[in-house]
Structure 1
Amino acid sequence: MSLYVDRGPARANRTVPPAFTEETRHEAEAQCPVDAHPGRRARAGAAACDGGEGGERDRSRRGQSLRTAESVRAAIRRDERADEFGQPLRSAEPLRAAEIGVSPRRRARAGYAAAAQIAAWARAGTSAPARLPGTAEGFAEWAQYPQPEALDPVSGWRFFYHAHAVRERLRAEHGHFHIFTPGPAGGMGFTHLIGISVDVQGLPIRLFTTNRWVTDEAWQPAAAIGRRVLRPRLAGASPGDVACWLENLVVLFAPDIVALLYARDARMGSGIGPGDRRFEDRRLRIPSQTRVSLAAALRRLAAA
């Protein structure tokens, strides 16, 4: 089964560069400051999932401007796509995101666990994408890893990774993870929560949302799914270290994810519902996106 509808033309013989090479090891380790704030370092090891349910309100994101963009189109040059991060998200949504109930301490704990895992992978000469089944012989454009998608059989959360053709990727992007939660209560299917782009070192560089047609999801508004970032439930999926790492990224970037979901809804327009043709508009693929940096996020939390 493949969750991804927007496959692009078949390119079975086209490969993507390795997700990690020996030359990138030291750079990846250098950008994961696992010792920068020992008091907030992950306690249970590099692969530990964040388990806290911090009830404090996270006010560290108040007043910050997130970034959003129009859809990414295949015909646009990479340089132009890189500039699409440029439109500021000017609304009350960052304030809502800051009040979702995840504390700075919990976000920092999750962030340092994610950084520690990247550093551990780097020392072993691997990365999150390279840990996925089916990648031993290299990455193929548009192929889904793993196949079928990684699924937590208890929670119904799932994820997969893939890479677009080189002209359809951001300048620094190797590929991206798609993370899904269960569909509406009492219904079938799945709902796209967030996409996480990574570079060749496996470091997160972008968060983004998608239009409904991209993954054929069961659409749910931000108000219905935003608080799920408080309790991501991927840990039962395989490989477990990648699943836990993604959980920690969801917690770390929770305010950004919620803000992007509300920005997605605003971009799609008010009053949108099942069967709306805006869901099938191929000109609109990515309603909202923002740059992210693991190191920068940890520095901000350490200074909070």
Structure 2
Amino acid sequence: MNGEFGADKPLAMDDRHWRDLAPDRLRKMQAAGAEILKCYHVLTKVNANVVGELLKTADTFFEWDHYPKGDVYDRDTHAQYYYHAHRGVDNEHGHFHTFMRRKGIPAEIQPLADQGSAKVPEGDDILSHLIAISMVPAGYPFILFSTNRWVTGENWFKASDVVSMLDHFEIDHAWPSWPTNRWISAMIILFRPQIVALLEERDRVVAEWAEKHPDRDVYEDRSLEITSYMPVSVEEQIARINQELSSRAAA
């Protein structure tokens, strides 16, 4: 990631994020890992991948455009995502942005009172960014990252409230691709401890940035784009989950 951003080095996982996981949570993560591998299996059999599924009807892949057009939205869960590309990470083809919209956010959870100077969504249009997923050209994830508010035009919720939304994210329909929808739903489950760590770091970085630049609106500061990031591996995550479950069973 570019060093001019708030996150100039990758975040390292703290073991406490693993220790805090109950066995039931670990088993859900284990099942999500199996779901992801199944999605890869059915797609590779036809020489496809989760990104290609979204681009197969596009003649040209344009930077900044959302794929698919109009985003992917589940009217029952109110989860949403899109894929796009722009300047950023070496070896990145593009990235997914994932969201929860107001109707899918528990009613007691509200955006922070201070939303900066920009006009933010209101009413049913309120939304929260969860996490972004960077993809290599072959169509596999390699980095998770969080962003400043201006990047996605979201409402700003504190990290602990965004974490409480994670269990509600699911795209449970077949458009534009059943395996891609199942994959991205499972990714949010599989990498929960990393997402929690990244969101906590996001809040720390934003608070520190605001303290260092009191004359700026931190949420609109274009110098602060990426607030935290972490390399990830589906295979390594599955192995760690299996290790955690085995060690707890033996204890």
Matched, 1:172 2:101: no
Deviation at 1:233, TM superposition (A): 2.1
Higher alpha-carbon deviation: 104-113 or 208-217: 104-113
In structure 2, the partner of 1:290 is 230
Deviation at 1:100, TM superposition (A): 5.9
In structure 2, the partner of 1:222 is 159
Counterpart of 2:51 in structure 1: which amino acid?
P
Write out per-residue CA displacement over residues 59-104 of structure 1, whole angstroms, 9 at most, x where no aligned residue: xxxxxxxxx986549xxxxxxx9xx444647xxx763575365622
In structure 1, the partner of 2:70 is 148
Cα distance change of structure 1 residues 87 and 206 upon mapping to structure 2, 3 Å threshold: closer
Cα distance change of structure 1 residues 242 and 227 upon mapping to structure 2, 3 Å threshold: same
Calculate the TM-score normalised by the size of structure 2. 0.77
The answer to whether the 8 A contact 1:135-1:145 is kept is no
The answer to whether the 8 A contact 1:152-1:236 is kept is yes
Higher alpha-carbon deviation: 133-142 or 255-264: 133-142
Gaps of 5+ in 1: 1-67, 74-80
Write out per-residue CA displacement over residues 2-38 of structure 1, whole angstroms, 9 at most, x where no aligned residue: xxxxxxxxxxxxxxxxxxxxxxxxxxxxxxxxxxxxx
Matched, 1:121 2:121: no
Whole-angstrom CA distance in 2 between matches of 1:248 and 1:96? 19
The total of aligned residue pairs comes to 219
Cα distance change of structure 1 residues 302 and 296 upon mapping to structure 2, 3 Å threshold: same
Deviation at 1:195, TM superposition (A): 0.1
Q: Which is richer in helix?
A: 2
Calculate the TM-score normalised by the size of structure 1. 0.64
Deviation at 1:181, TM superposition (A): 0.6
SS in 1 for 2:223: coil
Deviation at 1:133, TM superposition (A): 5.6
In structure 2, the partner of 1:182 is 101
Counterpart of 2:233 in structure 1: which amino acid?
S
The answer to whether the 8 A contact 1:97-1:255 is kept is yes
SS in 2 for 1:218: coil
Whole-angstrom CA distance in 1 between matches of 2:97 and 2:4? 17
Write out per-residue CA displacement over residues 108-162 of structure 1, whole angstroms, 9 at most, x where no aligned residue: 1101210221122112111111111664424222221011111101222100001
In structure 2, the partner of 1:257 is 195
Gaps of 5+ in 2: 111-122, 211-215, 245-251
Whole-angstrom CA distance in 1 between matches of 2:55 and 2:12? 38
Cα distance change of structure 1 residues 262 and 87 upon mapping to structure 2, 3 Å threshold: closer
Counterpart of 2:220 in structure 1: which amino acid?
E
Whole-angstrom CA distance in 2 between matches of 1:69 and 1:288? 11
SS in 2 for 1:269: helix
RMSD over equivalenced CA pairs, Å: 2.8
The answer to whether the 8 A contact 1:230-1:254 is kept is no
Whole-angstrom CA distance in 2 between matches of 1:200 and 1:256? 23
